[in-house]
Amino acid sequence: MKRRGKSISGLFLRFAVLFCINTAVILLGGMLLLMGAARTGFVLPANYTETRLTDRMPEIKAAGDFPDRWLPDGAAYGIYSQEGDLRAGNFDNKESEAAWDHYKNGNTYASAGNYYRFIKQDNGNICIVKYDLYMKYSRAELNEILPAPEILSFVVDGILIILNVVFLSRHFAGRLNRELGKLEKITEKIAENNLEFETSPSDIREISQVMGSFCRMKDALKASLTQQWDMERQKQEQLASLTHDIKTPLTIIKGNAELLAESPLSRENKECADYILSNAGDIERYLGRIKEVLNGSPGGGEVHRLSCSRLGAILHEAALQVAAAEKLPAAFDVRLMEGEIDCCPENILRAWKNILSNAAEYTDKKRGIEVSVRLRDREDHKFLEAVVRDYGPGFSPRDLKYADQEFYSGDASRHNREHQGLGLAIARNFLKEQGGWLELGNHSGGAEVRCWISVLPLEQRGESDLIRDL
């Protein structure tokens, strides 16, 4: 990785130098090729017509009105009297007038590389010949199908220069792509968490430096992941040990509660014993779920079809238990509802209890909590809406934005150092699994949490599985 290599600027400079050298070779080669064609007679020089006119001057002077045989191919002419009348030739009317005007003015340049030659014949007439100074092919048929040799040379040179740019660009782009491919392979391996690989040095200095940075990042990431994996393993071991340790006191609590339930009790004490047994059963199921998760199982609960009224009764019963345990007054508005819901009752109940516990902790102990469960229409669909209101400090603007995020600690109004910021996050995740969502807000006296659970459309409803023992 410490190999010096070449810089990208050096590569571009090399590209520019090679382009200039190749371009000069192409232009020089085209020029030499054109000169060689002229020396071999394949191409006639640009002054060929002018030289022929000079060589045949005596014959043209003595030819009178018929100098055609002595004029070079491609030359136009006109025979004029002393007064400027056109006597013979192949000029059209417009060209005839232009040629005579040039003669009177002594101007031999016509236009676009064409020139005039003024020849006074022996009989006193004026022969005006128009010719060009362009190279031509020695074979007349080539002059008709091909552009002039100079133009053809420029076209060929232009094509060769374009090909030069394309080939050089592809060559240097291919080299850069090969080096960048090494970086891409490194990023792919890092993205796959494959950190056991070696890197080869690059011939380009800047890419080699980036590869060095990637290597340092890989080593740092590897150390961080190793530390994180060790911490996760320790947490799993501690959680597994704690789960095992909880079973003993839970068994004792459940056994004593069962003994109490079998003995003569007052109605209130009997109700308390039933609450203890019911929640002890919940704890046993939670411990079993934790064990499944630790063993790598998804741990999802079984989905049942419940009537909305049955689910409302389950939520009502859970709210009664929490209010009784916290010795809080509670107001209920739980209605009989039509419709059915496909859900995991256990997960719904866990989410609901998290919300109730959160409300019970922050509410005014004298005013308690309010619970309502009803059907609501929203976005052309029917939902079961379960609402918990407390009379505490309510949610701050920051709480409303982040309170259902994992490990959110918030401000002092509704959070303290003893909380892990998981209650509302767990509730949100469970509701999302059931096709619903969590909605946080405030009412005039405190905080308000709404749970939305999707109700089955009428065409999907069937016989309800009314679960009586959770």
Across the chain, which distance is largest between two alpha carbons, in Å? 158
Neighbours of 322 (CB within 10 A): 22
User: What pLDDT shows up at residue 290?
Assistant: 66
Cα–Cα dist 256/276, whole Å: 10
Closest Cα partner for 181 from 217, 207, 219?
207
Cα separations in angstroms, 186 against 183, 286, 463: 5, 43, 57
Cα separation, 282 vs 249, whole angstroms: 15
pLDDT of residue 121: 87
What length does the chain have? 470
Query: For residue 70, which amino acid is it?
Result: W
CA distance 9 to 345: 67
What tokens were used for 392?
A: 């505490």
CA pair distance 88, 63, nearest whole angstrom = 12
What pLDDT shows up at residue 301? 61
pLDDT for the residue 428: 78
Among 177, 184, 176, CA closest to 14: 176
Q: Which pLDDT does position 459 carry in this prediction?
A: 64
- Arithmetic mean of pLDDT over the chain: 79
> What would the pLDDT profile of 176-204 be if each residue is shown by its tens digit?
887 777 777 777 777 766 666 666 666 67
Reduced to 3 states (helix: H, G, I; strand: E, B; else coil), residue 256 is helix
For 283, phi then psi, to 5°, come to -65, -40
3-state class (DSSP) for residue 417? coil
**Among 358, 348, 356, 350, CA closest to 312:** 348
Kindly report, residue by residue over 15-41, the tens digit of the pLDDT: 888 889 999 998 898 888 888 887 787
Q: Write out residues in the chain with pLDDT < 70, as ranges.
A: 1-5, 192-203, 285-286, 288-301, 406-423, 459-470
pTM recorded for the entire structure? 0.44
8 Å CB contact between 111 and 133: no
**Distance between CA 443 and CA 441 in Å, rounded?**
7
Report how far residue 341's alpha carbon sits from residue 384's, in angstroms, rounded to the nearest whole number. 9
Provide CB contacts within 8 A for 304, sequence distance 6+: 342, 343, 344, 345, 465, 467
Query: What's residue 331's pLDDT?
Result: 92
Give me the DSSP letters along 326-393: HT--EEEEE-----EEEE-HHHHHHHHHHHHHHHHHHS-TTT-EEEEEEEEEETTEEEEEEEEEE-SS
pLDDT tens digits, 84-112: 888 888 888 888 888 898 888 888 888 77
From the list 409, 403, 406, the residue with the least C-alpha distance to 438 is 403
Spatial contact of 135 and 149, defined as CB atoms under 8 Å apart:
yes
The confidence score (pLDDT) of residue 198 equals 67
